[in-house]
Amino acid sequence: MSRFSETNQQENLSLVSISQKLEKLGLFGTNLLRSIIIARLIGYGFLILFILDLGAIIIPPNLGNPQWEFQVLGEIVERVAIPFIAVCLIFLGGNYLRKGWEYFSLNAISWLCLVAGIMFIIAVPLGIANTLRIDRIIANEINQQIQPQLAFLDNLDKRLQGIKTKEEMQNLIQEFFANTNNIPPINTEEGLAEIKSNFSENTKAIRRQLNQSKSALRQQRKSLIKQSFKWNVGALISGVLFILIWQMTAWTRKIEVK
């Protein structure tokens, strides 16, 4: 009899333990559902904030300007993590605990993911084309502005080194400089040496500035290639992910709104 009583007590304790665990599990599930609702609200907030940020990026539009189009692509790709997080939070929990208005928004967001994916993929060849156009602009700036000025300085240095008389120096000034009113006349050999020295120092200073500008433009071309690779690859990956999200959220397009 005592053994039977002990067995009943053990069974009762086991049932109480299971009941407590189920109660805790139910409480955990309730809290989890509350967290899901909060996460969805945060997702909607993230998505709205990204749309506002997107509007600030593309307005006012300057279509046809390769620098503007390239910069817009970069700024959007740099922020693309925000809509991904937003979409993940919004679709969290699937169809459970949804309100009527959400079915329409989920359907719209799913289709927006498809549109965004297609636009990102289309942006890749456009980004490559803009990269080539910007690179060509920088190269033209080097070849058509800086290089001719450096060639002019090379010619000036050669002529300056070959000058021996005041007359030759005066002719050089009149040949290379349109406005010679501010240059004092050369009366002595000391004056000739001083003017030659000043010219040499000025040409060296101008050459340094031009070489610095040339180096900066070359560095800009390198940075352009790095940014182009990063942003175009990012756009391609983003486009594929958005299309995959559209495919995975097909359930939102099959729900009949009551």
The answer to whether 166 touches 186, Cβ cutoff 8 Å, is yes
Cis amide bond preceding 125, omega within 30: no
Residue type, 238: S
Predicted pLDDT of residue 145? 78
pLDDT digits (tens, 9 = 90+) for 226-250: 999 999 999 999 999 999 999 998 8
The answer to whether 82 touches 48, Cβ cutoff 8 Å, is no
pTM of the model: 0.74
Separation between Cα atoms, residue 188 and residue 174, nearest integer Å: 18
Domain boundaries, the chain: 2-253
Separation between Cα atoms, residue 83 and residue 48, nearest integer Å: 9
Predicted pLDDT of residue 30? 55
Mean confidence (pLDDT) of the chain: 80
Residue type, 137: I
Predicted pLDDT of residue 1? 47
Predicted pLDDT of residue 165? 72
Q: Report DSSP letters for 140-191, one per residue.
A: HHIIIIIHHHHHHHHHHHHHHHT--SHHHHHHHHHHH-S--TTSPP--SHHH
Predicted pLDDT of residue 85? 94
pLDDT digits (tens, 9 = 90+) for 61-89: 888 899 999 999 999 999 999 999 999 99
Task: Measure Cα distances from 62 to 54, 66, 97 in Å.
Answer: 15, 9, 44
Give the DSSP letter of residue 181.
Answer: T
3 state DSSP class of 40: helix
pLDDT digits (tens, 9 = 90+) for 22-47: 455 555 455 566 678 888 899 999 99
pLDDT digits (tens, 9 = 90+) for 160-177: 777 777 677 777 776 666
* Mean pLDDT computed over 87-102: 81
Question: Helix 81-90 vs helix 189-248: angle between axes, to the nearest 10 degrees?
Answer: 20
In sequence order, which residues have a C-beta less than 8 Å from that of residue 35 and are 6 or more positions away? none
Predicted pLDDT of residue 129? 94
Predicted pLDDT of residue 177? 63
Query: Residue 135: pLDDT above 60?
Result: yes
Calculated CA dihedral for residues 215, 219, 224, 227, nearest 10 degrees: -170
